[in-house]
Amino acid sequence: MQENEIEQAVTMTETQKEIVIATDGERYNAVELRKTIRKRRNLVVEFFRDTKDKAHKTWKAIVSQEKGFTDRLDKADGEIEFAVSKYDTEQEILRKAEQKKLQDKVNADAERERERLEKRAAKLKTPAKKEEATKQAAAVVAQTVSLPSTIIKSNGVSSRKTWKAKIIDETLIPRRFLIVNTSALNDYARATKGNQHVAGVEFYEHSGTAIRV
């Protein structure tokens, strides 16, 4: 069968979109039409089978060859990414440690200055001067220390942090994060013929017709 014959067969089979069956005869004709459609569909599938098989084999060979190269590149890329991430993490730990050390010193200096002013205020006799000195002591606040990262940024490269989830106990996971396994429920419905109750599920029998060609 040639492609133009396939096109003709499909065109001849196509009918109006809305089919209304009101009599036994119309039902019989509709079923016979379905048989014809199924036969011609099989012819179409058979016509393209060899071409698809050849194309699929060619595609698989190309994909396999491509994967041989990309896997090696991905492995190298992943190893480098891991090493860079490890270095960045270590540097960030060092930066935070140094920042905390400097912040502790600044906090201690501010605390000593506050205590000095409070002692000075306590020695003053004049209420107004004493109040003013007390306010000066309370106003002493340690400055926030912020050390910039020393990591040199490369053009086109940016760091990213992604939050991910790891299941610890699936029995504790809230319902809104669970996905209903509809396929398993359908299998269960077929196996039990809908005679077994499952909470939250209604089993029903779907009617259809099978066409043998």
Answer yes or no: is 136 within a domain. Answer: yes
Closest CA to 11 of 23, 3, 22: 3
Answer yes or no: is 31 within a domain. Answer: yes
Tokens 């990213």 sit on residue: 160
Residues 6+ apart with CB under 8 A from 44: 6, 9, 10
Q: Residue 73 belongs to what domain range? A: 3-192
- For residue 24, CA distances in Å to 16, 18, 208, 209, 210 come to 19, 18, 17, 16, 18
Residue 130 C-beta-side C-alpha neighbours within 13 Å: 7
Answer yes or no: is 44 within a domain. Answer: yes
Residue 189: CB atoms within 10 Å: 19
Answer yes or no: is 209 within a domain. Answer: no
| Structure tokens given for 93 | 């730990």
pLDDT at 78: 93
Closest CA to 22 of 11, 30, 14: 30
Answer yes or no: is 92 within a domain. Answer: yes
pLDDT at 180: 92
Answer yes or no: is 197 within a domain. Answer: no
At residue 17, φ and ψ (nearest 5 deg) are -65, -40
Answer yes or no: is 24 within a domain. Answer: yes
Determine contact, residues 161/175, Cβ cutoff 8 Å.
no
pLDDT at 31: 87
Global pTM? 0.52
Spell out the alpha helix ranges (H) of 124-151.
127-138
pLDDT at 39: 86
> What is the residue-averaged pLDDT of the chain?
87
Number of folded domains that form the chain = 1
Answer yes or no: is 212 within a domain. Answer: no
pLDDT tens per residue across all 213 residues of the chain:
567 766 776 676 665 567 788 999 988 988 888 888 888 888 888 988 999 999 999 999 999 999 999 999 999 999 998 998 899 889 999 999 999 999 999 999 999 999 998 988 888 888 888 889 889 889 988 999 999 988 887 777 777 778 888 899 988 999 889 999 999 999 999 999 989 999 999 999 887 666 676
pLDDT at 76: 96
